[in-house]
Amino acid sequence: MSDSFTVGRLYPGRLQPGSLTQPAVKSNSSAAESSASFQNVLNQEMVRFSNHAAKRLEQRGIQLRPEQLGQIGQAIDDAAAKGSKDSLILMKDMAFIVNVGNRTVVTAMDGKSMKNNVFTQIDSAVIIH
């Protein structure tokens, strides 16, 4: 459990092991079509970090473990199921503003940065225990 998140990596949220392999290409399908559909599935399952969020993680010394990334992915899924567009995700002493539609964390804060802060331009909040 000492694994930590490296800025710039993507997390496969709900994908099961082995499900990242590309489907077999049918003889009447082009490789480009197959690749495009695989990329669409992959894009729908990832938690991405914007450049701004990646810088904030680094500046604030926030390291995310794989299980925390999984929790963020699940929180995004929950927010999407309720029709959210931009959500605040609170996890212990961290906060993340997420664009739900493209599954992108746009900024990240630690406990110190959250203090006396007002969160604007969000339509939902998800609290992770």
Residue range 48-96, pLDDT digits in tens = 999 999 999 999 999 999 999 999 999 999 999 999 999 999 999 999 9
Query: Do 20 and 29 meet the contact criterion of CB atoms below 8 Å apart?
Result: no
Q: Which two tokens stand for residue 83?
A: 């029709």
* Rounded mean pLDDT, 87-107: 96
Question: What is residue 46's predicted lDDT score, i.e. its pLDDT?
Answer: 85
Report residue 5's pLDDT band, with 50, 70 and 90 as the boundaries: very low
Residue 8 pLDDT > 70, yes or no?
Answer: no
Residue 9 pLDDT > 80, yes or no?
Answer: no
* Rounded mean pLDDT, 7-14: 47
Question: What is residue 32's predicted lDDT score, i.e. its pLDDT?
Answer: 55
Question: What is residue 31's predicted lDDT score, i.e. its pLDDT?
Answer: 55
CA–CA dist 120, 90 (Å, integer): 14
Whole-number average pLDDT of the chain: 78
Q: Residue type at 77?
A: D
What's the per-residue H, E or C state across 45-81?
HEEEECHHHHHHHHHCCCCCCHHHHHHHHHHHHHHHH
CA–CA dist 16, 24 (Å, integer): 18
CA–CA dist 11, 73 (Å, integer): 8
Question: What is residue 16's predicted lDDT score, i.e. its pLDDT?
Answer: 41
